[in-house]
Structure 1
Amino acid sequence: MAQTASAIPGKPASEATPDPAPLLLREAADTLRRLPRGLARPRLSSWPEVVRDSASLFASSQDAARRPSPPSPQAIDRMDRTLGWLLACDEEARRLVWARAMGISWRRLEDMDGRSHVTLRKIVARGHDRIRVLLAADDKKKPVIRKNSLQDL
């Protein structure tokens, strides 16, 4: 039997570290989905909204029960940073990378774009590579903080 290669030498494939780029993009898409929508209210009337019957009151309470929980401030910060990384990708890769982060299937992307899933996967991989380069550069900028830094002085 052939063993599958791991992303990390010395670790089996089952313990391989997942690719951070698609995970961060999916988290950003989920965070964006959970943000409250700004509903535009008409400016012409200052009258409060009136419930006409109990059915409309019941329907609005059911909608509120299905609404996902709001994202944390840290998730919103990560989403902002991740959306900035998308701007480093070319337009074609940006569109497809974001579509995949939103959960659109390869088949649907094929129908929308008109190209094969193999070509689309290559474009998405190119976008993920660009984001990985930015992630690596971002990691190098972070200062290294040791736990016992005060004892070293």
Structure 2
Amino acid sequence: MDKWTPSLVEARLAEAAFVLKRLPEPRRRGYFSTWPEIIHSFGDKVGQKPRPMRVLPSPQAISRMEETLSWTVGLDPVDGKIIWMRAYGERWKTICWTVGLQRSAAHQHWLYGLCVIALRLNRRRFNPNLSKRKVIELARGA
């Protein structure tokens, strides 16, 4: 990637969250069943809910997801939580209840976190004492 922008960072985080949702559930090692798999007839399946199909992600998508997981390490925990909740598609109302911020403040934390990640990925230095608005302007102007 030549130039990271906050919107590209947001798209990559959303892809990582989507890949995490599609990964198979972890299983305990050492436990298995010796019973044969039960084959249901049509009459048995009439009242059952269909099992959702699981499409496993590609190895390239898993590699990008693993790279993305480390992006929020240096952020404030509130910013990281807001970023990942938005990546998972949570509504702003739920995010505000969870974090305890108003909508405008939560949005500013989210945008600030995306801009900090974009600046780090572009290897640009910035003063951590700058206000959130200055960092957002710095990332958008770059």
**Does the alignment reach a TM-score above 0.5?**
yes
Which amino acid in structure 2 is aligned with residue 19 of structure 1?
S
**Which residue in 1 is equivalent to 2:38?**
51
TM-score by length of 2: 0.69
Which amino acid in structure 1 is aligned with residue 120 of structure 2?
L
Q: Is residue 100 from structure 1 mapped to residue 86 from structure 2 by the alignment? A: yes
Aligned-pair distance for 1:85? Answer: 0.6
Q: Is residue 25 from structure 1 mapped to residue 13 from structure 2 by the alignment? A: yes
Structure 2: distance between partners of 1:19 and 1:113: 22
Q: Is residue 40 from structure 1 mapped to residue 31 from structure 2 by the alignment? A: no
Structure 2's unaligned 5+ residue stretches are: 125-142
Structure 2: distance between partners of 1:109 and 1:116: 9
Asked which structure has the greater CA Rg, the reply is 1
Aligned-pair distance for 1:111? Answer: 2.3
The structure whose RCO (Cα within 8 Å, separation 6+) is larger is: 2
Which amino acid in structure 1 is aligned with residue 7 of structure 2?
D
Aligned-pair distance for 1:40? Answer: 3.3
Which amino acid in structure 1 is aligned with residue 34 of structure 2?
W
- 8 A Cα contact 2:82 2:99, kept in partner: no
What percent identity do the matched residue pairs reach?
Answer: 29
- 8 A Cα contact 1:88 1:130, kept in partner: no
CA distance 1:46–1:75, shift in 2 (3 Å): closer
**Aligned residue pairs, count:** 117
RMSD: 2.8
1:8-23 to structure 2, matched below 5 A, reads 19-23=7-11
**Which residue in 2 is equivalent to 1:88?**
74
Structure 1's unaligned 5+ residue stretches are: 1-16, 139-153
